[in-house]
Amino acid sequence: MKTSTLALALALTLAACGRSNDTRAQDGVFADNRVLPGDALSMKASFAPVVREAAPAVVNIAAIGVQQVRDPFWGIPGQRQTGSVGSGVIVRADGVVVTNNHVIEGMQQIRVTLNDRREFSARVVLADPRSDIAVLQLEGVNERLPTLNIDDREEQQVGDLVLAIGNPFGVGQTVTNGIISALNRTETGISDSGSFIQTDAPINPGNSGGALVDMDGDLIGINTAIFSRSGSSSGVGFAVPATMVRRVVDSAVGGATAVVRPWLGVKGDTISADIARSLGLDRPQGLVVTDVYAGGPGDRAGLREGDVITAIDGAEVNDQGGLNFRVGTRAPNDTVQVSVLRDGRPQTLNARVQPLPGDADIDRATVIRSGVLSGAQVLALNPALADSLGGDPFATGVIVGRVQRGSYANRSGLQGGDIIMAVNGRAVTSVDQLADLARGSEVVIERRGRRITGVIR
């Protein structure tokens, strides 16, 4: 592992050797060769050497957009200017900048200010709402700019010192410090496929898109969210790990307009204490497979229902979000090692992950022309479409795109985004089942996670 100047000054060196499971301190030295500060001089050491290396590559971002509005009294349409302030990180010397998608989403003008106060216009190369990462290209760059190295080796440990560098509240570049509070946070409500670094380094509005750096001055994450009742830092911040940042940057630099996420084609349940006992496990760990997509990567690799997935490429997996993240950081057609427990015995399977099957373009939907659902634009769900809409790739049914105003479907109460699950007790799997539907038909729909049963009048 790497050794930094500051880490030496703080006597927190990470030696280039294997780690032991025994982390008990012996005379101030841990088994993985990290050592505690031994004197007052070590405690007074400064973060300045790391800041000098990292800060020049962290930028301030100001974005301006135009929002369509309607006068609340007269109903006259108009426009209103909106703005956003955030941070970013230069990751390539030719002016490629990483930030959060929510900083630039819906904005028409983006202005980037460097640490030395130079300003550049920027254009969006790729925006990935799912990871909340966007890649920008500075315009008019005619020299090599300072950069931060993306360290995606995932060697961090809980308790490691980190710095957060960004533009909180728009006051200008600010550096705060803290530790890694947790790794692989998945159940945060931020993303269904995110696995975040948690830190107590103060992060506030405006820090979004800024850098989380380690004591080598490398980028290990992009600060993206906080948990707070007041809107200000409460010591619980989250950063998108460098593995996902690298995946989005590589996609953008490679000419892609979107990040294509592969899948394993399995879903499962988190192992609870009760499930662990029923499976004979010594502790709750892993994800028990409940469904395998026929012909998918997991199916071809030999995964079965009842298998317990414990790791992907050696990285521990304990829930569906963690599995989605680990697979999502790989490129389509990559081979991953899936560690499983089957009948209590560990096995390793090799799976070639691939893009989700099906067409994700909802604009190719069919408009029903007859029957009580006429006027509804509908499309049979497939894994790619369901996933693009934030749903379960295993879901079946017909999704409603748009509903024409004044149509039969509109008067029946059908809404865009509804998933028609069943008609008259039969599961719906194709658009043809909805043609010429008669009044009095019983329809089961799923709307924003709720299942509703009704009769069409």
Residue 378 burial class via C-beta count within 10 angstroms: exposed 0-12, middle 13-18, buried 19 and up: buried
Nearest to 275 by CA among 314, 316, 304, 308: 308
d(Cα 47, Cα 38) in Å, to the nearest integer? 18
> CB of 58 within 8 A of CB of 115?
yes
Write the DSSP symbol of residue 369. -
- Could you list the beta-strand ranges (E) of 167-272: 174-185, 196-199, 211-213, 219-226, 237-241, 262-263, 266-270
d(Cα 209, Cα 239) in Å, to the nearest integer? 9
Catalytic-role residue among 131, 208, 251, 388: 208
Angle between helical axes of 242-253 and 320-328 (0-180°, round to 10): 40
> How are beta strands 211-213 and 161-166 bridged, if at all?
antiparallel
Catalytic-role residue among 32, 42, 94, 102: 102
Catalytic-role residue among 132, 151, 214, 387: 132
Nearest to 322 by CA among 425, 244, 410: 244
Does 208 qualify as catalytic in the annotation?
Answer: yes
Does 132 qualify as catalytic in the annotation?
Answer: yes
Nearest to 131 by CA among 256, 287, 212, 242: 242
Residues serving a catalytic function are 102, 132, 208
